[in-house]
Amino acid sequence: MEEKGKINGVAAMAACYQGFDPAAYLQYNYTPPRADFERKDSIVPWKLACLHRAFTEGDVNGELLVDIGSGPTLYQVLSGCEVFNKVLLTDFLEVNRQELRGWLQGEGGCNLDWTPYLQHVCKLEGRRPSAWPEKAAKLREVITDIVPVDVHCPQPLALDALPSAGADCLVSCFCLESVSPDLAAFTRALGHIGRLLRPGGHLLLIGALGESYYFGGPGVKIPVVPLNEAQVCASLQESGYTLIRLEVYTLPQDMRVGVDDVTGVFFVKARKE
């Protein structure tokens, strides 16, 4: 895509996000049925199981975990916070950074009760669900900062956000395909965030398959790059990653609740060469 087209596409995406509503987004995607811890086939428990396994199977280690495009959610680092002693959360929008700070600073300051999530991950770790306050304290202890990010910049974070060695692990969920105007931009963004990762570091990527739009709030329809598994794998390879594992979740009918047209969710564990 020629330079002007590239800039217009990315600028148009940024404009779409001006109406993003963290409370609505959480309501749409992080409450039942999509987040139902009693249902084996609910999406969020599947995502938490993928992340728990990926963080605890022994090859992921280091000092610093960075979550790219955190949004208003914390689920993506609930397992990682036990493995890394520094976690950096990032998002493009101040409203999302504010939502995360609200949780960090104590109960009542955010739009979702994360307790069921904390309890569920405690169970995955073989701990009593009643240990959730300790897990919440651990998470608050290791989150070092909540900073701006733009995956379309070759340098997505401020230069002083990371140590020179880079991050030891990146996690990014439903971000790249939801903020890119097309597949080429998605692949470029994958390369940009890869530069934040040290060689040999891991990328844990969760994303939407077959999705062309989602609602980021009432009437806030945001275009999405519709991806299939082959395109995800090709983009990873093109961006200098070695695929370790790809898992796919196909949405049952009753998980399609009208807030998007997603058909599946992918989970990728990859290593930067």
Ligand X SMILES: C[S@@+](CC[C@H](N)C(=O)[O-])C[C@H]1O[C@@H](n2cnc3c(N)ncnc32)[C@H](O)[C@@H]1O
Ligand Y SMILES: O=[N+]([O-])c1ccc2c(c1)CN[C@@H](CO)C2
The residues that touch ligand X, with contacts defined as CB under 6 A, are: 17, 20, 69-71, 73, 76, 91-93, 96, 149-152, 173-175, 178-179
Q: Of 130 and 159, which has the nearer Cβ to ligand X? A: 159
Whole-Å CA distances, 206 to 43, 54, 249, 265: 12, 12, 11, 7
**Which one of ligand X, ligand Y, none is in contact with 215 (Cβ closer than 5 to 8 A by kind)?**
none
Residues 187-246 that bind ligand Y (CB under 6 A): 208, 211, 214, 224
Contact of 78 with 118, CB cutoff 8 Å? yes
Size of the site for ligand Y (CB under 6 A): 12
Q: Whole-number minimum distance, CB 175 to ligand X, in Å?
A: 4
**Which one of ligand Y, ligand X, none is in contact with 170 (Cβ closer than 5 to 8 A by kind)?**
none
Q: Of 223 and 242, which has the nearer Cβ to ligand X? A: 223
**Which one of ligand X, ligand Y, none is in contact with 93 (Cβ closer than 5 to 8 A by kind)?**
ligand X
**Which one of ligand X, ligand Y, none is in contact with 42 (Cβ closer than 5 to 8 A by kind)?**
none
**Which one of ligand Y, ligand X, none is in contact with 96 (Cβ closer than 5 to 8 A by kind)?**
ligand X
114 binds ligand Y (CB under 6 A): no
44 binds ligand Y (CB under 6 A): yes
Q: Whole-number minimum distance, CB 108 to ligand Y, in Å?
A: 24
- Which residues contact ligand Y by CB under 6 A? 29, 34, 43-44, 174, 178, 208, 211, 214, 224, 260, 262
